Amino acid sequence: MLEMKVFRENPDSIFNDLKRRNASDEIVKEVIKLDKKWRAFIEKGNGLRAQRNSISKEIGELKKQGKDTSSVMEKMSGIKDKLSQNEKETKEMLDLRDQARMRVPNILEESVPIGEDEGGNNEVSSHGSKGNILNPKPHQEIIEYISGADLKRAAKISGRRFYFLTGDLARLEMALINYAIDYLYQKQYTLTIPPFFMNREAYEGVVDLNDFEEVMYKIEEQDFYLIATSEHPLTARFKDEILEIKKQPLKYAGISTNFRKEVGAHGLSDRGIWRVHQFAKVEQVVICKPEDSELMHNELLNNAIELFEGLELPFRVVDICTGDIGTVAARKYDLEAWMPASQQWKEIVSASNCKSYQSVRLNMRYRTPEGTEYPHTLNATAIATTRALAAILENNQKDNGSITIPRVLHKWMNGQEKIEAQ
């Protein structure tokens, strides 16, 4: 949600942004209109309350002196009626204003490329080499012959898009997690294991409202949603608080299982463990002063790049365009791994600068000499295990069916260097 002062002082910045997104600006006009009405109600209410307070004082004085109060009491009852009517209208107007305001997307950074969909994304850089694999097998086949996962029985007891990770592949997942955690520890990110359930109110602070239908699972009959990423609890953690951000930004490494409905996703490219309802992810989360957020965005992106360079995987960095970026982020970069079997680049990391969009909704501020200010929030994948595993399986497959384990992971695999076909 955008700060109200943007609508009041610089609405053109929103209108221009929506033009770049090729989106309607009706909703912005609605917010501005409702805000004016709300302010008129507030003023009227303040006047009534001022009257009420002064009459109330008068009554106190009169009673102290033992004088008659019936005439002022009568005046009071008229004011109280008007005030309760006004309070109802004021609240309604504020609710309407903020319902509309919630639907206005973040203002994008000016350099975000313009485009209709993912086809408009810009490749920024590429890393590693694609290798030379003869007849590469897709990861869902490799999983079978190394006995790395059991999707069939997972489907029997849970449903499609679930899996048992088994043996060396499960060990490899733990190695990836440890690899990411140790890397971020060295960069001063505080490891944080969050709650996996969050209530609706907190959740509204960090996501697009559509996500409630399309992404998060709701616990039946209870005000709980399963988290879709540790970014959500880590960012919502300081809701309604005034933080002390000294020099250093607040930096966290979140780790959790993530739960996603994946509504509407189908197709060949989603087989195996690429798109699943449940997966582990190490996430980077930063809360910082506005002036630091661009720098921190680069840091998060560089961390992801270094992690995947360490894994010796071929990947590229993509600058996400206006049509593909969504409502919350002001700038977003993805890392896309090269998948030899399908000959496609596929998303493995997403790094977003949300600016103050989340902190406004969360009512999370930090103290400055002049008062309070909304901090910027940023998030980026460090390693999402299932996708990293799929990329490793496809890129590291050998002619004899074995999989070489990236060197940086050996220390968490008891020195094991490859996974053999069973």
Rounded to an integer, what distance in angstroms lies between the CA atom of residue 259 and that of residue 278? 5
Q: Which is nearer to RNA, 42 or 181 (CB)?
A: 42
Identify which of residues 288 and 304 has a Cβ nearer to RNA in the complex: 288
Among 13, 22, 46, 422, binds RNA (CB under 7 A): 46
Closest separation in Å from C-beta 166 to RNA: 22
DSSP 136: P
Which residues sit opposite 164 in a β-bridge? 150
- Going from the C-alpha of 21 to that of each of 106, 376, 410, the distances in angstroms are 11, 22, 46
C-alpha dihedral sign at 413, 387, 133, 308: negative
Buried/exposed 88-119: b ≥16 CB within 10 Å, e otherwise? ebbeebbebbbebbbebbbbbbeebbebeeee
Nearer to RNA, 367 or 398 (CB): 367
The smaller minimum CB distance to RNA, of residues 10 and 372, is found at: 372
Q: What is the DSSP letter of 90?
A: H
- Listed ranges 12-20, 214-222, 224-232, 369-377: which one lies at the site for RNA (CB under 7 A): 369-377
- Applying CB under 7 A, which part among 45-53, 104-112, 212-220, 317-325 lies near RNA? 45-53
Q: State in angstroms the smallest separation of the CB of 370 from RNA.
A: 8
User: Could you give the 3-state DSSP secondary structure of residue 278?
Assistant: strand
Enumerate residues 208-267 that contact RNA by CB under 7 A. Answer: 242, 244
- The region of 97-105, 277-285, 340-348, 363-371 touching RNA under the rule CB under 7 A is 363-371
Q: Which of residues 55-114 bind RNA (CB under 7 A)?
A: 55-57, 59-60, 63, 73, 76, 80
Q: What are phi and psi of 226, to 5 degrees?
A: -75, 135
Minimum distance from residue 346 beta carbon to RNA (Å): 37
Position among 20, 29, 37, 49 found at the interface with RNA (CB under 7 A)? 49
Considering the complex, state which of residue 70 and residue 132 has its C-beta at the smaller distance from RNA.
70
CB nearer RNA, residue 43 or residue 306: 43
CB of 46 to RNA, least distance (A): 4
Q: Which of 29, 52, 289, 316 binds RNA (CB under 7 A)?
A: 52
Residue 159 contacts residue 153 (beta carbons within 8 Å): no
Judged by CB, which is closer to RNA: 20, or 49? 49
Cα 303 from Cα 184, distance rounded (Å): 8
Name the helix (H) or strand (E) containing 251. Answer: strand 250-259
Q: How far is the CB of 363 from RNA (least distance, A)?
A: 9
Among residue numbers 4 through 23, which ones bind RNA (CB under 7 A)? Answer: 4, 8
Q: DSSP label at 218?
A: B
Residue 144 is encoded by which pair of tokens?
């079978």
Contact 420, 381 (CB under 8 A): no
Closer to RNA by Cβ: residue 73 or 114: 73
Give the binding range for RNA (CB under 7 A) out of 159-167, 169-177, 319-327, 368-376.
Answer: 368-376
CB 351 within 8 Å of CB 334: yes
The answer to whether residues 337 and 345 touch, using CB atoms and an 8 Å cutoff, is yes
- Total residues binding RNA (CB under 7 A): 28
Q: Does 53 bind RNA (CB under 7 A)?
A: yes
In angstroms, give the least distance from the CB of 373 to RNA. Answer: 9
Q: Whose Cβ is closer to RNA: residue 6's or residue 408's?
A: 6
Nearer Cβ to RNA, position 20 or 39?
Answer: 39
- Check if the beta carbon of residue 404 is closer than 8 Å to that of residue 282: no
CA–CA gap between residue 151 and residue 384 (Å, rounded): 19
- Dihedral of CA 187/192/197/201: which sign? negative
Half-sphere exposure of residue 289: CA atoms within 13 angstroms, side-chain side = 10
Q: Which of the ranges 15-23, 54-62, 117-125, 190-198 carries the binding residues for RNA, by CB under 7 A?
A: 54-62
CB 233 within 8 A of CB 227: yes
Closest separation in Å from C-beta 64 to RNA: 8
Q: How far is the CB of 371 from RNA (least distance, A)?
A: 4
Asked if residues 304 and 349 have their Cβ atoms less than 8 Å apart, the reply is: yes
Task: Closer to RNA by CB, 3 or 294: give it.
Answer: 3
Contact set with RNA (CB under 7 A): 4, 8, 39, 42-43, 45-47, 49-50, 52-57, 59-60, 63, 73, 76, 80, 242, 244, 367, 369, 371-372
